[in-house]
Amino acid sequence: MLGQLQRIGKALMLPIAVLPVAGLLLRLGQPDTLNIPFMAAAGNAVFNFLPAIFAIGIAVGLAKDNHGLAGLAGFVAFQVLSYGSQAIHSDNNLSYLGAIVAGLLTGWLFNLFSRARVRGLDFLAGGRGLAVILITLTSVMLSLVFGVVWPFVQDAFNTLGHWLAATGAVGAGLYGLLNRLLIPFGLHHVINTYIWFVYGSYHGVSGDLNRFFAGDPTAGGYMAGFFPIMMFGLPGAALAMILAARPERRQAVAGVLGSAAFTAFLTGVTEPIEFAFMFLAPLLFVLHAVLTGLTLMVVYALGIRDGFTFSAGLIDYILNRNHATHGWWLIPIGLVVGVLYFVVFYFSIRIFDIKTPGRELEGAGTAGGGFILDEYQVGAATSREDEENTTSIFGRSSEHRALEYVRALGGAENILEIEACTTRLRLNVKDVEKIDELWLKQLGASGVMKLNRHNAQIVVGTIADLLVDEIKPLL
């Protein structure tokens, strides 16, 4: 179950990946920025077709080898489900929920039948044509069910939306708490999808993110609170870890965590910092989740509304500054949050002697944190040739890097599936115990999560996609 949820979380990131460029075009084209109508129209073109993009992206994300034909099948499935159910009940609007169902259905059936061999049907593209036919027929039959059932589904989610609206700041705080607690499992995208794309309605547009960019003055309450956390809170935690490091290691720690803090401030990508303490001090991570929830609650209660298309960093803050409500308050609030994070992290590390980067035993790497601060010789040399070819983690060629990762993951025979998801490698392996965590961290991984016997995630940063492309030919 966890393995399947992990794959779903990864698949949801594919359609979300198109949002930054769409949001950039939309905002730059507005009268309060560059006032270029055709740029705004180009951005709106993406937002208007996001449900279909979700169906395509999820289908491709779940299909083996990310096969493009699955994306076409996902689009067909979504259209059949939408138009078929509307023919039965005109008020049916499958939107993002229907797109997610279509994508999941397509991915499952495509993997089940795409490699099937049926006598007399060899002309059907090696089974993939058969899979598309079966997906379409299944969608037709399912549209009959949706035509009757979907009004009740819509009512249920409308009720949930009204409950969240009624809870106000409490609902925002609960969302912030769950959002951070689900990060170790890579499942925060699942809850994000509902909040960003389903929750609430404004002139036919649904979701806190979509409504914000459509001009809904009540939208953005579930996103605004992330700006103080990502721009100031976690950089404050990084500063605490730098100052808590041993004096002789502090400069090396500052190089790693300093760049991670700047990345969080500028773009809102926070995983490199979070994985530095997530497994070293689980209680500290839970406290981080609680502080996130409290910040979202306070920001919502103050009536501050702001949004983003990628993450809550400086870039999105600047682009959306004229679209936000009381958005300037996020800066002083962020400074307070940054000081709070610094104090909590610094004294917790000191009092409980937490082995954050730069405090680990000499030569042991960073246990659990994943930051390697010295130039290590990576890999166990099994022959003189291996020994000569083994290099430090800095400056190695892409071929050497990919080969080292394959070896650290237990060898090619241990890797059943490997995919990239933003900053993570998501793996299905024969045995996770064959994965060498220390070796991976020496290669530069920020975190290693062994979810169960066969599923693991490796946080490698923004090189995830490139690294998977380098690794797959070796398998």
Would you name the residues annotated as active-site residues?
421
Q: Which two tokens stand for residue 240?
A: 């605490």
Residue with tokens 């960093």: 313
Q: How far apart are CA 358 and CA 388, in angstroms?
A: 29
Q: How far apart are CA 180 and CA 315, in angstroms?
A: 21
Residue with tokens 């991976």: 440
Q: How far apart are CA 101 and CA 99, in angstroms?
A: 5
**Looking at this protein, which amino acid is placed at residue 462?**
T
Q: How far apart are CA 326 and CA 320, in angstroms?
A: 12
Q: Which two tokens stand for residue 56?
A: 């395509």
Q: How far apart are CA 307 and CA 313, in angstroms?
A: 10
Cβ within 8 Å of residue 345, ≥6 positions away: 236, 237, 240, 241, 244, 277, 284
- Type and span of the H or E element at 265: helix 250-267
- Type and span of the H or E element at 259: helix 250-267
**CB burial string 106-128: b at 16+ within 10 A, e below:** bbbbbbebbeeeeeeeeebeebb
Residue with tokens 């080898």: 65
Q: Calculate the dihedral angle through the C-alpha atoms of 107, 112, 115, 119, rounding to the nearest 10 degrees.
A: -130
What is the DSSP-derived secondary structure letter of residue 231?
I
Q: How far apart are CA 51 and CA 221, in angstroms?
A: 22
